[in-house]
Amino acid sequence: MKPTTCKKCPADIVFAKSRNDKWMPMDAEPAVEGPFWLDLAEDPPIARKAYPDTPPGDRYTCHFDTCAVQRDPKPAATPADDGVDNDIPF
């Protein structure tokens, strides 16, 4: 699990896959009340929802919820935008 830096703020984040195989930026720092745990048995790690009966361990928060720079409303498409965006959105 390799921390990286958010493109919009200075926070350290790690990328995990959601259960439906989407990349999710997670705060690199565990959060006590975080709604997810990271299944490190998988590579890349899978962000799984933590339930009350989930075994204790580090909890994580999705960085979309904590980013200091909130996402702008969807920008208007520009002529240079070919509609294909393979970049991870963070």
Q: Which residues bind Zn ion (CB under 5 A)?
A: 6, 8-9, 11, 67
Nearer to Zn ion, 14 or 67 (CB): 67
Q: Min. distance of Cβ 36 from Zn ion in angstroms?
A: 17
- Least separation, in Å, of the C-beta of 10 and Zn ion? 8
- Shortest gap between Cβ of 5 and Zn ion (angstroms)? 8
Buried b (16+ CB within 10 A) or exposed e, 34-69: bebbbeeeeebbbbbebeeeeeeeebbbbbeebbee
